[in-house]
């Protein structure tokens, strides 16, 4: 009898060269909330406007800080002046909302008709007196979450390159310091400052909700590491200082363009760490930052063990089960690594775009996790062909498929459990304490099916599926 040999290294494939993902202009949904003094202007067709309205579910009475500049037939046939119309819209935005920055989001249409947004922006910026940042977020070139990547890469070029001379100005720029020191006396703040180890400035990049920003900042503070700033900051006027030689570390796997901009344009040093998703990833992220600064991490063993103990009620539901990632939000490698650590088998990791250099540490941790858990190495498929994937899903019969919204209902109709990948994009999944939220999402369809079995509904569902 021959025993099948497990591959000794991760295997990478690229299937179609097409993106089957949510549209990247949806990054507006979380970025306009994160950067509180911003206004986002999406320049596209009515289709883009319908998509944003549906994707974001904005209430009728809400006044979100984004708008659509809808291109008409005259604009597309190059009969009208883009500049004058954009100037009119930006002056209206300035009058009504007075933001500190206007972000122009380019779409597929602006790419196809070759609208020179980067050429128009500097002239208009000097006329209206408000910074205009141009970011391309079209679905032709970018996958779902890469919309944020293009915005942050553009904003990295706007970060100040010199720290303010006066200490008072410096503290005012650092929103993180203000957040952590809120309500404290000066003596307490001085005491806190003395807890930090002397190390080069560190800036973290990636848009996360404020509670998660605070959690990760405090986790590093426990190791004596001070975070000099975050990109993006809560306000455009508080963007972090980026001098040559500053260290930077990312918190999301889809920010490879931002990482490249920080290294090449701003001459920063990138810390290539796994991403802080799951207790294992968060620990590895902190350990890598500590090792770069020559700090011996303390208390991480106990911290990780404590979190895993609290997750056991969820982990026991998925231990021994299998999962298949169709690919949508570029979080797939990190999620798969965490689920393998939970005891799941990952058949395949579909991913729309793979930057092996930026994700090198995460890929190494994935490989190490598979070895330690005695789990087969998953197949990694970049730009997967959905038809081929469906055939593989029918053959492998995974317990769960994590997929984009387009395929969830058809798969459910065939009796396959699914979870929308977009939910992980909008959920708080970073850091030690948010690992429970990941498992809450992963186990929800399995828990639902268990409840249906208890009620005897599973037989009825199977009979309806046959019909």
DSSP letter for each residue of 89-113: HHHHHHHHH--SEEEEEE-HHHHHT
Q: Average pLDDT in the 63-84 region?
A: 69
Dihedral angle sign, alpha carbons of residues 173, 179, 182, 187: negative
Fold agreement (23-137, 298-453): yes
Q: Average pLDDT in the 323-335 region?
A: 92
Cα–Cα distance, 422 to 328 (Å, whole number): 8
- Window from 14-23, 375-384, 423-432 with minimum mean pLDDT: 14-23
Which one, of 57, 118, 128, lies nearest residue 90 by Cα? 128
351-407 residue pLDDT tens = 999 999 999 999 999 999 999 999 999 999 999 988 899 999 999 999 999 998 888
Domain extents in the chain: 23-137, 185-291, 298-453
In the predicted model, is pLDDT for residue 453 greater than 80?
A: no
Go through the chain and tell me how many residues it has: 467
Contact criterion met (CB below 8 Å) for 367 and 9? yes
Helix (H), strand (E) at residue 67: strand 66-70
Of the chain, the end-to-end C-alpha distance in Å amounts to 42
Peptide bond into 324 cis (omega under 30): no
Give the domain 185-291 fold. Answer: Rossmann fold (3.40.50)
Residue 14 is assigned to a ligand binding site: no
Look at 203 and 452; give whichever has higher pLDDT.
203
**Please, what is the average pLDDT of the chain?**
85
Contact criterion met (CB below 8 Å) for 231 and 156? yes
Dihedral angle sign, alpha carbons of residues 362, 364, 367, 372: negative
Supply the pLDDT for residue 394: 92
Cα–Cα distance, 323 to 216 (Å, whole number): 28
Residue 268 is assigned to a ligand binding site: no
Q: What pLDDT band is residue 66 in, cutting at 50, 70 and 90?
A: confident
Q: What pLDDT band is residue 224 in, cutting at 50, 70 and 90?
A: very high
Residues 6+ apart with CB under 8 A from 352: 19, 20, 21, 143, 144, 327, 328, 330, 382, 383
Using left for φ > 0, alpha for ψ between -120 and 50, and beta otherwise, residue 27 falls in alpha
Residue with tokens 């720290």: 163
In the predicted model, is pLDDT for residue 301 greater than 60?
A: yes
Cα–Cα distance, 99 to 102 (Å, whole number): 7
In the predicted model, is pLDDT for residue 111 greater than 70?
A: yes
Which one, of 283, 138, 149, lies nearest residue 207 by Cα? 149
In the predicted model, is pLDDT for residue 458 greater than 80?
A: no
Cα–Cα distance, 25 to 107 (Å, whole number): 7
**298-453 classified as CATH 3.50.50.60:** no
For 23-137, give the CATH class: alpha beta
Which one, of 254, 272, 252, 274, lies nearest residue 352 by Cα? 254
Using left for φ > 0, alpha for ψ between -120 and 50, and beta otherwise, residue 466 falls in alpha
Q: Average pLDDT in the 278-301 region?
A: 94
Supply the pLDDT for residue 254: 94
24-51 residue pLDDT tens = 888 888 898 899 999 999 988 888 888 8
Residue 48 is assigned to a ligand binding site: yes
């Amino acid at each position: 009898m021959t025993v099948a040999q497990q591959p000794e290294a991760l295997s990478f494939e690229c299937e179609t060269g097409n993106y089957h993902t949510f549209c990247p202009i949806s990054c507006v949904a979380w970025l306009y909330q994160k950067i509180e003094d911003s206004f986002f202007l999406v320049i596209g067709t009515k289709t883009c406007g319908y998509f944003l309205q549906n994707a974001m579910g904005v209430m009728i009475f809400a006044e979100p800080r984004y708008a659509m500049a809808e291109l008409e037939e005259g604009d597309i046939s190059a009969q009208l002046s883009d500049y004058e119309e954009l100037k009119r819209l930006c002056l209206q935005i300035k009058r009504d909302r007075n933001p500190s920055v206007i972000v122009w989001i380019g779409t597929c249409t602006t790419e196809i008709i070759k609208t020179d947004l980067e050429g128009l922006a500097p002239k208009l910026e000097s006329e209206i007196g408000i910074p205009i940042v141009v970011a391309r977020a079209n679905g032709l070139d970018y996958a779902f979450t890469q919309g944020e990547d293009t915005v942050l890469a553009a904003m990295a070029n706007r970060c100040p390159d010199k720290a303010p001379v006066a200490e008072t100005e410096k503290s005012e720029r650092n929103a993180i310091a203000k957040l952590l020191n809120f309500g404290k006396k000066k003596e307490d703040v001085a005491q806190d400052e003395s807890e930090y180890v002397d190390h080069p400035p560190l800036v973290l990049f990636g848009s996360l909700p404020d509670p998660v920003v605070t959690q990760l900042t405090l986790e590093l503070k426990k190791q004596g590491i001070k975070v000099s700033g975050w990109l993006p900051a809560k306000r455009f006027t508080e963007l972090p200082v980026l001098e040559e030689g500053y260290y930077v570390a990312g918190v999301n796997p889809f920010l490879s363009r931002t990482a490249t901009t920080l290294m090449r344009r701003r001459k920063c040093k990138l810390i290539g760490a796994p991403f802080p998703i799951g207790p294992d990833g968060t620990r590895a992220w902190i350990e890598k930052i500590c090792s770069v600064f020559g700090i011996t991490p303390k208390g991480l063993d106990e911290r990780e063990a404590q979190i895993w103990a609290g997750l056991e009620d969820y982990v026991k539901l998925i231990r021994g089960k299998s999962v298949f990632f169709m690919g949508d939000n570029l979080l797939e490698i990190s999620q798969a690594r965490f689920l393998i650590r939970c005891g799941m088998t990952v058949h395949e990791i579909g991913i729309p775009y793979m930057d092996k250099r930026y994700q090198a540490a995460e890929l190494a941790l994935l490989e190490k996790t598979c070895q330690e858990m005695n789990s087969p190495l998953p197949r990694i498929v970049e730009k997967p062909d959905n038809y081929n994937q469906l055939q593989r899903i029918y053959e492998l019969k995974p317990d769960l498929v994590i997929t984009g919204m387009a395929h969830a209902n058809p798969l459910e109709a065939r009796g396959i459990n699914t979870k929308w990948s977009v939910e992980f994009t909008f959920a708080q999944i970073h850091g030690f304490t948010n690992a429970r939220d990941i498992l809450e999402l992963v186990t929800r369809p399995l828990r639902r099916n268990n409840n249906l079995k208890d009620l005897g509904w599973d037989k009825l569902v199977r009979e309806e599926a046959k019909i």
